[in-house]
Amino acid sequence: MTGWTALLLRDLRLARRVGAGAELGLVFFLILVSLLPFAIGADQRFISRIAPAFLWLAALLATLLGLDRLLQADEEEGVLDQFMLSGTPLELLVLAKALAHWLVTGLPLSLVAPLLGLMLAIEPQAMVPLALSLLVGTPALTLIGLIGAALTVSLKRGGLLLSVLVLPLTVPTLIFGATLVKEAALGRPYTTPLMLLGGMTLLMLVIAPVSAAAALRHARQ
Amino acid sequence: MALISTLGTVPAPALAIRGLAMARGYRTLFRDLDIDLAPGQVLQLTGPNGTGKSTLLRLIAGFLKPDAGTIRWSPVPDEVSPGEWLHYSGHHEGLRDGLTAQDNVATLASLLGGDPARTGAALGAVGAAPLAELPVEVLSAGQRRRVALARLLVAPRPVWLLDEPFTALDRDGQALVRQLIGAQAAAGGLVIAATHQPLDLPDLVHVVLGGPAS
């Protein structure tokens, strides 16, 4: 087994622990979505209209959970030092960590979102596109978060700063993701936002591991 | 103990440090530091607290860049970064809470290019076999140290950088560390240890940081 898969499996195993964030992200998403009708009232037409945007916002906030500990826990225990000594490039190792994070937050979120969309009276024809948009878009959110996590790795209480750093960078993903679901709900083609969303994710796939690894190396100095 | 004799399967490079200088903040820790180490030698670093022993080890590990001077390994294996032939054992053990000792060491073995299948034997060799299935957060400080030592055995590497290797260890544990260091040196490996405990080894190179000489 290579170091890369060993790290991926280790992080997945860690995520299974109670309170580690895996299932919490999902529960947080569920709570946010169920709070919305309480705040808005029984205006079903209105809720249905803002549902795509709201589901995407909720997914964004749920992805942020646990990001502050993504690299920090390894840094505090001295495991990041061992990453530096591994034959596997640091860029790939942080990518493995991001993948593990996505597998336990973004992926279940994407699969559950259409069901929660039902609660918000989302149009039936938008349910599959909603899951698709989250599947394609949430990796970008995790990867942007990876950069933030690397930048705040040495700060004791960096969680808030991380959100402030990361949220503005997620704007394009949010726009394309919410647009996709909105277009689908209106029965219009949504290929263009899907392509742009995929483009964002691919771009982040290239930028994030390199930036995160550079930030971590800089943090040692 | 069979594992200990299989250390140092890779020939160690020689270390040459020339004119090394490092400052932290406004404080110069050392300057014009020269150190030569040949394979099979053990270097003991001593000096008052805060004189840069840990910093020097992190410089040699490549985690930090020196303000001046060079750290050279020769012969340099082709296309291998220094990080891939050395072990660094610092104040933190490199063990993640929530995982068992076994899982922790096996993951590190994979990461460091070692053999995860040796984990059980390595834990046995450092006297931590009964702890293998326990999550590391329930272990005592000394037990964690022992588990961390197993890392040196699952991934044989010619150079060891040990920062305070005797911390929290009992008498047997300290004897074990001396035995490991001795075996590594005998196998042609190279060990640099920052500690004030006597190492009781022949052919010991001693460097004192923060003394009048530096």
DSSP B17-76: EEEEEEEETTEEEEEEEEEEE-TT-EEEEE-STTSSHHHHHHHHHTSS--SEEEEEEESP
The answer on B72 and B6 residing in a single domain is yes
Q: Note whether B51 and B29 are within 8 A (CB).
A: yes
Residues 6+ apart with CB under 8 A from A39: none
CB contact under 8 A, A78 and B92: yes
pLDDT at A16: 83
pLDDT at A18: 65
- Which chain B residue is nearest to residue A83, measuring alpha carbons? B111
pLDDT at B79: 64
- A156 confidence band (pLDDT: 50, 70, 90): confident
Q: Which domain holds residue A114?
A: 3-220
Determine, yes or no, domain membership for B91.
no
A73 touches chain B (CB under 8 A): yes
In the block, which residue shows the tokens 């991380």?
Answer: A162
Chain B residues closer than 8 Å to A83 by CB: 111
Q: What is the CATH number of the domain that holds B175?
A: 3.40.50.300
The answer on B174 and B109 residing in a single domain is no
Q: Which domain holds residue B152?
A: 101-156
CA distances from A183 to A191, B96, B115 (A): 10, 45, 53
Residue A35 has pLDDT above 70, yes or no: yes
- Which chain B residue is nearest to residue A3, measuring alpha carbons? B111
The three-class DSSP label of residue B135 is strand
The answer on B68 and B137 residing in a single domain is no
The answer on B202 and B172 residing in a single domain is yes
The total number of structural domains in chain B stands at: 2
Predicted ipTM?
A: 0.88
Q: Cα–Cα distance between A78 and A73 in angstroms, integer?
A: 9
Residue in B84, B86, B96 nearest the CB of A79: B96
In the block, which residue shows the tokens 């699969």?
Answer: A111
Determine, yes or no, domain membership for B213.
no
pLDDT at B3: 53
Q: Cα–Cα distance between B6 and B82 in angstroms, integer?
A: 21
CB contact under 8 A, B95 and A79: yes
The answer on B172 and B67 residing in a single domain is yes
Mean pLDDT value across chain A? 91
A16 touches chain B (CB under 8 A): no
pLDDT at A68: 84
pLDDT at A160: 85
The answer on B196 and B140 residing in a single domain is no
The answer on B106 and B196 residing in a single domain is no
pLDDT at A108: 92
Determine, yes or no, domain membership for B42.
yes
The three-class DSSP label of residue A1 is coil
The answer on B166 and B123 residing in a single domain is no
pLDDT at A21: 65
- Which chain A residue is nearest to residue B137, measuring alpha carbons? A77
Q: Cα–Cα distance between B13 and B16 in angstroms, integer?
A: 10
The pTM score is: 0.91
**Hey, of A82, A91, A154, which one would you mutate to test binding to chain B, going by the most B CBs within 10 A of its CB?**
A82
Q: Give A99-155 pLDDT, tens digit per residue.
A: 999 999 999 999 999 998 888 888 899 999 999 999 999 999 999 999 999 999 988
- Which chain A residue is nearest to residue B91, measuring alpha carbons? A78
Number of H helices, E strands in chain B: 5, 8
The answer on B114 and B52 residing in a single domain is no
B110: left (phi over 0), alpha (psi -120 to 50) or beta: alpha
Determine, yes or no, domain membership for B41.
yes
Degrees to nearest 5, angle at CA A218 with A217 and A221: 100
The answer on B180 and B75 residing in a single domain is yes
Beta-bridge partners for B45? B194, B207
Residue in A14, A76, A86 nearest the CB of B111: A86
The answer on B137 and B74 residing in a single domain is no
The three-class DSSP label of residue B161 is strand
The answer on B171 and B150 residing in a single domain is no
Residue ranges of chain B with per-residue pLDDT less than 50: 1-2, 5, 8, 212-214
Q: Note whether B96 and A13 are within 8 A (CB).
A: no
CB contact under 8 A, A77 and B93: yes
Determine, yes or no, domain membership for B96.
no
Question: Which of the listed residues B122, B141, B156 is the one where a domain comes to its end?
Answer: B156
Residue A164 has pLDDT above 60, yes or no: yes
pLDDT at A25: 84
Determine, yes or no, domain membership for B92.
no
The total number of structural domains in chain A stands at: 1
Side-chain half-sphere CA neighbours of B101 within 13 A = 28
Q: What SS3 string covers A65-92?
A: CCCHHHHHHHHHCCHHHHHHCCCCCHHH
pLDDT at B175: 93
